């Protein structure tokens, strides 16, 4: 990777991680390969891609939340909080004390569907209290004060009364706010947000995105934000990593990547979303041909080979290296390397 | 031009008991909805969850009876038919003309039926084809949507989400309909697949001369596919305008909020949101008096709290807002189209 313009030490550095899932009657399935990502304090990194591209698996690996049949085959996940030592999360046992100290405390997570990730039989307040009592050892009464203050901060109206509500009594937007309050309870260094606005209406989505940005400024936390929506990426990201079938195909500063998308998949993805434009400027969408193959059928080389309009001879057999486009903007594509420029490439 | 279908003052009230012996509660899902769709037009119906857009679609196909109002269908070369006045038997022939595509391609295809039978079922029910002819028609329509003939014998689970949606489209088209109601037809699909299905819908429209009512919450998709847009809020039509007019200059404050909340895939256009989005959609059962939107509207005045605005014409737009003439609202088109370099690597 080329040197990054940021002087700080990364808070989270994922290096060459490969995650596989085993099943009793089939060969292991490699869900993500050679993932390298850096996340700096106070910044937002978006992982973007379509269903099955490995974005959730990557994010969950940071908290070691993937199912028991998953295995981090190689690589390191270095987490360096400002007030502590660097830990390699990939080397920890998922249920170890060290991991449990990080989970929910230094790194916390919010999920797509707040209804299924909150307990339906406990009040929202009790669930947040529990978290504060466990990690910070506060007494129930003090914990409740903190909870009410948190709910107030995330914009829940009437927080003291709302703390006594069950999740089903709240609207989708309020439930997501309660989730965010819970995630912030221990002032995490890193917040992982897995499609937090996908289940919400657009106006609620806009409110939640604004809230997350405000809170990030206030707490100075870093965010690892997972989404399939390029609009949301454009709105919230500092850095973006585009994933396809387990590979990070392109990554870099969000302005650079959107201005000059360099991997054929990123380009195709951007051409397949309708732009908000007047009729005369509107172009017919150019969808990506075919469908995403199964991870089992992924070639040794670039995962996008089977659908890429520019695919040529080295693509299927050899994984392209990371090639710098500009600054910290890199893409993995043979077209960007020297030897490809010599070859005649049919468009 | 006369409308192919018109919906006049339609209301739909659901009533239910909370608990076995609880009081009877009513919810007004549609309030006095009026709109029409011209032949060959794509009319989009947009709004957030609970605004009544799905109820509207279901009311048009008579999947449920309406509480008040009428839906009139004007088939070409035939006298107008008032669908809401027909009984089940009399409605049946018209069901051939008005077909529906659903959101979730998994739950809208019977997992026990082969694709052939799923698509053939409407032809069998209407006794339109049998034997060899049936097979030809089914294979023909499947080919049109991009499902190969040799896949007809398979079950829905063997197909991807995008292919399943194509099967749903084939089932809608096999009867040569005039009007297709697509209820969130591309919402469950990944963007690259969504683009394929949107293009397919456009091509089929041209080829078969279809008219679409396209129900969606995604304004990006709507801007792409629709000729005209109806915006709904809490069961009311608040704005009805040609697509370009609506996106260029919305007339209803709710439309402006929807447009502003829309994330645009261009970081250079970030931070243009002026925090006008506030509050949440009220519960349908406790609908505000006066203008349904006044609780979240930044222009609300006393009049809005008491007097319900009627839908009226302002320019090309029909809008239900007391102050539509004077409001200067912001549209969604930027000053210049986004420039993006697709450097051929």
* A347 touches B: beta carbon within 8 Å: yes
Closest residue in B to A268 (Cα) is: B192
* A50 touches B: beta carbon within 8 Å: yes
Domain edge (last residue) among A157, A186, A215: A186
Contact residues on chain B for A278, CB-CB shorter than 8 A: 244, 247-248, 333
Q: Please give the C-alpha separations between residue A77 and each of A85, A86, B123, B140, in angstroms, as whole numbers.
A: 13, 10, 58, 53
Q: Looking at the predicted structure, is the pLDDT value of residue A126 above 90?
A: yes
Residues in chain B with pLDDT < 70?
Answer: 1, 271-278, 335-345
Closest residue in A to B159 (Cα) is: A291
Question: Do both A141 and A210 map to the same domain?
Answer: no
Q: Give how far B314 is from chain A: nearest CA, Å.
A: 21
Contact residues on chain B for A233, CB-CB shorter than 8 A: 265
Contact residues on chain B for A170, CB-CB shorter than 8 A: none
Closest residue in A to B245 (Cα) is: A278
Chosen for mutation from B163, B263, B272 (greatest number of chain A CBs closer than 10 Å) is B263
Asked if the structure places residue A229 within a domain, the reply is: yes
Question: Do both A130 and A196 map to the same domain?
Answer: no
Q: What is the pLDDT of residue A280?
A: 81
Put simply, the answer to whether B263 touches A210 (Cβ < 8 Å) is no
Q: What is the pLDDT of residue A322?
A: 92
Put simply, the answer to whether A203 touches B265 (Cβ < 8 Å) is no
Put simply, the answer to whether B340 touches A282 (Cβ < 8 Å) is no
* Spatial distance between the Cα atoms of B342 and A266, rounded to a whole number of angstroms: 10
Q: How big is the A-B interface in CB pairs under 8 Å?
A: 155
Question: Do both A81 and A146 map to the same domain?
Answer: no
Strand partners, A227: A48
Backbone angles phi, psi at A273, to 5 degrees: -100, 135
Q: Are B240 and B311 in contact (CB under 8 A)?
A: yes
Question: Do both A178 and A265 map to the same domain?
Answer: no
Q: Are A70 and A54 in contact (CB under 8 A)?
A: no
Distance between the two ends of chain A, CA-based, in angstroms? 29
Q: Give how far A285 is from chain B: nearest CA, Å.
A: 6
Region of residue A272 (phi > 0: left; psi between -120 and 50: alpha; otherwise: beta): alpha
Q: Are B322 and B309 in contact (CB under 8 A)?
A: yes
Q: What is the largest CA-CA distance in chain B?
A: 70
Token pair listed for A301 = 């080389």
* A281 touches B: beta carbon within 8 Å: yes
Strand partners, B15: B26
Contact residues on chain A for B338, CB-CB shorter than 8 A: 275
Q: Using one digit for the tens of pLDDT, what is the confidence trace for A166-196?
A: 999 988 888 999 999 999 998 899 999 999 9
β-strands B68-73, B81-82 pairing? antiparallel
Asked if the structure places residue A347 within a domain, the reply is: no
Contact residues on chain A for B195, CB-CB shorter than 8 A: 271-274, 285-288
Asked if the structure places residue A267 within a domain, the reply is: yes
The stretches of A220-292 forming alpha helices (DSSP H) are 230-236, 254-259, 264-271
Domain edge (last residue) among A167, A186, A205: A186
Contact residues on chain B for A261, CB-CB shorter than 8 A: 340, 342
Laid out side by side, the sheet with A12-23 consists of A26-39, A12-23, A70-79, A87-88
Q: Give how far B121 is from chain A: nearest CA, Å.
A: 28
Strand partners, B255: none
Question: Do both A96 and A173 map to the same domain?
Answer: no
Asked if the structure places residue A4 within a domain, the reply is: no
Strand partners, A331: A250, A323
Q: What is the pLDDT of residue B343?
A: 54
As a 3-state breakdown, chain B gives helix, strand, coil percent values, each rounded to 5, of 35, 20, 45
Contact residues on chain A for B199, CB-CB shorter than 8 A: 284-285, 287
**How many domains are contained in chain A?**
2
Q: Are A112 and A199 in contact (CB under 8 A)?
A: yes
Asked if the structure places residue A2 within a domain, the reply is: no
Put simply, the answer to whether A268 touches B192 (Cβ < 8 Å) is yes
* B105 touches A: beta carbon within 8 Å: no
Q: What is the pLDDT of residue A2?
A: 45
Strand partners, B215: B45, B183
Q: Using one digit for the tens of pLDDT, what is the confidence trace for B167-188?
A: 999 999 999 999 999 999 998 8
Q: What is the pLDDT of residue A233?
A: 95
Asked if the structure places residue A112 within a domain, the reply is: no
Residue B337 DSSP label: P
Put simply, the answer to whether A232 touches B217 (Cβ < 8 Å) is no
Token pair listed for A233 = 């990426």
Number of helices (H), then strands (E), in chain A: 12, 12
Question: Do both A99 and A243 map to the same domain?
Answer: yes
Question: Do both A249 and A320 map to the same domain?
Answer: yes
Q: Give how far B64 is from chain A: nearest CA, Å.
A: 26
β-strands A239-244, A190-194 pairing? unpaired
β-strands B228-233, B68-73 pairing? unpaired
Q: What is the pLDDT of residue B281?
A: 77
What CATH number has the domain bearing residue A206?
3.40.50.300
Q: What is the pLDDT of residue B273?
A: 61
Q: Using one digit for the tens of pLDDT, what is the confidence trace for A14-66?
A: 999 999 999 888 888 999 999 999 999 999 999 999 888 999 999 999 999 99
* A235 touches B: beta carbon within 8 Å: yes
Q: Please give the C-alpha separations between residue A324 and each of A4, A43, A240, A252, B152, in angstroms, as whole numbers.
A: 11, 21, 15, 10, 47
Region of residue A54 (phi > 0: left; psi between -120 and 50: alpha; otherwise: beta): left
Token pair listed for B34 = 């009026």
Nearest to A225 by CA among A76, A91, A49: A49
Q: Looking at the predicted structure, is the pLDDT value of residue A320 above 60?
A: yes
Q: Please give the C-alpha separations between residue A226 and each of A68, A232, A256, A263, in angstroms, as whole numbers.
A: 22, 10, 19, 20
Contact residues on chain B for A267, CB-CB shorter than 8 A: 342
Q: What is the largest CA-CA distance in chain A?
A: 72
Asked if the structure places residue A1 within a domain, the reply is: no
* B336 touches A: beta carbon within 8 Å: no
Q: Give how far B302 is from chain A: nearest CA, Å.
A: 24
* B220 touches A: beta carbon within 8 Å: yes
Q: Which residue has the tokens 């434009």?
A: A277
Q: Which domains does chain B have, with CATH numbers?
A: 5-16+27-232 (3.40.50.300), 250-319 (no CATH)
Put simply, the answer to whether B269 touches A269 (Cβ < 8 Å) is no
* A312 touches B: beta carbon within 8 Å: no
Q: What is the dihedral of CA A163, A164, A166, A170, to 10 degrees?
A: -50
Asked if the structure places residue A7 within a domain, the reply is: no
Q: Using one digit for the tens of pLDDT, what is the confidence trace for B309-318?
A: 999 999 999 9
Annotate B12-48 with DSSP letters as a single string.
Answer: EEEEEESSSSSPEEEEEEEEEEEEEE-TT-EEEEE--
Q: Please give the C-alpha separations between residue A36 and each of A238, B65, B244, in angstroms, as whole numbers.
A: 16, 57, 43
Chosen for mutation from B187, B233, B265 (greatest number of chain A CBs closer than 10 Å) is B265
Nearest to B267 by CA among A238, A149, A72: A238
Q: Which residue has the tokens 């645009």?
A: B264
Domain edge (last residue) among A129, A164, A186: A186
Closest residue in A to B162 (Cα) is: A291
Question: Do both A194 and A293 map to the same domain?
Answer: yes
Question: Do both A161 and A192 map to the same domain?
Answer: no
Q: Which residue has the tokens 């053939």?
A: B120
* Spatial distance between the Cα atoms of A40 and A238, rounded to a whole number of angstroms: 10
* Spatial distance between the Cα atoms of B35 and A7, rounded to a whole number of angstroms: 59
Contact residues on chain B for A259, CB-CB shorter than 8 A: 268, 339-341
Window B:247-276, CB contacts with A under 8 Å: 247-248, 257-258, 260-270, 273, 275
Q: Please give the C-alpha separations between residue A132 and each of A144, A214, A215, A248, in angstroms, as whole numbers.
A: 9, 22, 18, 36
* B110 touches A: beta carbon within 8 Å: no
Cα-atom radius of gyration of chain A, to the nearest Å? Answer: 21
Chosen for mutation from B48, B192, B285 (greatest number of chain A CBs closer than 10 Å) is B192
Q: What is the pLDDT of residue A167?
A: 92
Closest residue in A to B249 (Cα) is: A278
Question: Do both A174 and A193 map to the same domain?
Answer: no
* Spatial distance between the Cα atoms of A107 and A77, rounded to a whole number of angstroms: 13
Q: What is the pLDDT of residue A1?
A: 44
Render the burial of A120-143: b for 16+ CB within 10 Å, e for the rest. Answer: eeebbbbbbbbbbbebeebeeeeb
Q: Hey, is A3 helix, strand or coil?
A: coil
Residue A283 structural domain: 12-106+188-342
Q: What is the pLDDT of residue A27?
A: 86
Question: Do both A152 and A261 map to the same domain?
Answer: no
Q: Are B255 and B222 in contact (CB under 8 A)?
A: no
* Spatial distance between the Cα atoms of B162 and B141, rounded to a whole number of angstroms: 16
Q: Hey, is B226 helix, strand or coil?
A: coil
Backbone angles phi, psi at B189, to 5 degrees: -100, 150
Taking residue B199's Cβ as centre, other Cβ atoms within 10 Å add up to: 17
* Spatial distance between the Cα atoms of A113 and A110, rounded to a whole number of angstroms: 9
Question: Do both A327 and A264 map to the same domain?
Answer: yes
Strand partners, A191: A108, A223
* Spatial distance between the Cα atoms of B327 and B239, rounded to a whole number of angstroms: 14
Distance between the two ends of chain B, CA-based, in angstroms? 50
Annotate A251-268 with DSSP letters as a single string.
Answer: EEEHHHHHHS--SHHHHH
Closest residue in A to B266 (Cα) is: A234
């Amino acid at each position: 990777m080329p040197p990054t313009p940021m002087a700080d030490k990364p808070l989270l550095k994922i290096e060459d991680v490969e995650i596989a899932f085993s099943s009793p009657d089939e060969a292991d399935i490699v869900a993500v390969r050679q993932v390298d990502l850096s996340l700096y304090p106070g910044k937002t990194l978006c992982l973007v891609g379509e269903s099955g591209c490995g974005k959730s698996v990557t994010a969950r690996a940071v908290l070691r939340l993937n199912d028991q049949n998953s295995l981090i085959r190689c690589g390191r996940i270095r987490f360096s909080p400002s007030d502590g030592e660097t830990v390699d999360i990939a080397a920890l046992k998922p249920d170890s004390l060290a991991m449990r100290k990080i989970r929910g405390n230094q790194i916390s997570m919010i999920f797509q569907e707040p209804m299924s990730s909150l307990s339906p039989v406990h009040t929202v307040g009790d669930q947040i209290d529990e978290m504060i009592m466990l990690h910070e050892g506060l007494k129930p009464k003090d914990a409740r004060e903190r909870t009410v203050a948190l709910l107030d901060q995330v914009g829940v109206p009437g927080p003291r009364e709302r703390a006594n509500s069950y999740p089903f009594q709240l609207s989708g937007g309020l439930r997501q706010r309660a989730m965010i309050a819970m995630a912030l309870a221990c002032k995490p260094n890193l917040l992982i947000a897995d499609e937090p606005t996908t289940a919400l209406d657009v106006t609620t989505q806009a409110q939640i995105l604004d809230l997350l940005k405000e809170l990030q400024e206030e707490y100075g936390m870093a965010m690892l934000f997972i989404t399939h929506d390029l609009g949301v990426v454009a709105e919230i990201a500092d850095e973006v990593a585009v994933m396809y079938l387990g590979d990070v195909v392109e990554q870099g500063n969000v302005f650079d990547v959107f201005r000059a998308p360099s991997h054929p998949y990123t380009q195709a993805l951007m051409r397949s979303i309708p732009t908000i434009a007047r009729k005369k400027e509107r172009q017919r969408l150019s969808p990506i041909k075919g469908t995403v193959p199964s991870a089992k059928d992924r070639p040794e080389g670039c995962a996008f080979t089977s659908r890429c309009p520019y695919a040529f001879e080295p693509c299927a057999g050899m994984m392209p290296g990371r090639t710098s486009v500009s600054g910290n903007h890199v893409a993995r594509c043979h077209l960007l390397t020297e030897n490809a420029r010599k070859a005649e490439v049919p468009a | 031009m006369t409308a192919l279908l018109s919906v006049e003052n339609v209301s739909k009230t659901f009533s239910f008991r909370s608990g076995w012996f609880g009081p009877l509660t009513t919810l007004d899902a549609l309030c006095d909805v009026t709109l029409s769709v011209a032949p060959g037009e794509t009319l989009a119906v947009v709004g957030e969850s609970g605004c009544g857009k799905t109820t509207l679609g279901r009311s048009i196909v008579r999947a449920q009876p309406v509480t008040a109002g009428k839906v009139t269908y004007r088939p070409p070369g035939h006298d107008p038919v008032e669908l809401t006045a027909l009984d089940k038997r009399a409605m049946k022939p018209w069901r051939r003309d008005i077909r529906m595509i659903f959101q979730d391609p998994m739950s809208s295809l019977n997992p026990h039926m082969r694709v052939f039978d799923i698509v053939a079922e409407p032809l069998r029910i209407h006794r339109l084809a049998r034997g060899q002819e049936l097979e030809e028609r089914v294979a023909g329509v499947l080919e049109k949507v991009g499902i190969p003939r040799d896949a007809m014998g398979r079950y829905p689970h063997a197909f991807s989400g995008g292919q399943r949606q194509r099967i749903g489209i084939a089932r809608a088209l096999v009867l040569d309909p005039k009007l297709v109601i697509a209820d969130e037809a591309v919402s469950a699909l990944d963007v690259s697949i969504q683009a394929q299905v949107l293009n397919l819908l456009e091509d089929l429209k041209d080829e078969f001369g279809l008219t679409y009512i396209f129900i969606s919450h995604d304004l990006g998709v709507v801007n792409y596919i629709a000729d005209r847009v109806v915006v709904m809020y809490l069961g009311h039509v608040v704005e009805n305008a040609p697509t370009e007019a609506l996106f260029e200059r919305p007339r209803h404050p709710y439309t402006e909020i929807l447009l502003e909340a829309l994330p645009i895939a261009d970081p250079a256009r970030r931070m243009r949101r002026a925090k006008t989005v506030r509050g949440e959609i009220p519960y349908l059962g406790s609908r505000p008096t006066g203008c349904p939107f006044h609780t979240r509207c930044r222009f609300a005045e006393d009049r809005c709290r008491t007097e319900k605005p009627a839908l009226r014409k302002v320019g090309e737009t029909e809008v239900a807002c007391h102050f539509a003439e004077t409001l200067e609202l912001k549209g969604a088109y930027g000053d210049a189209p986004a420039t993006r370099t697709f450097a051929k690597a």
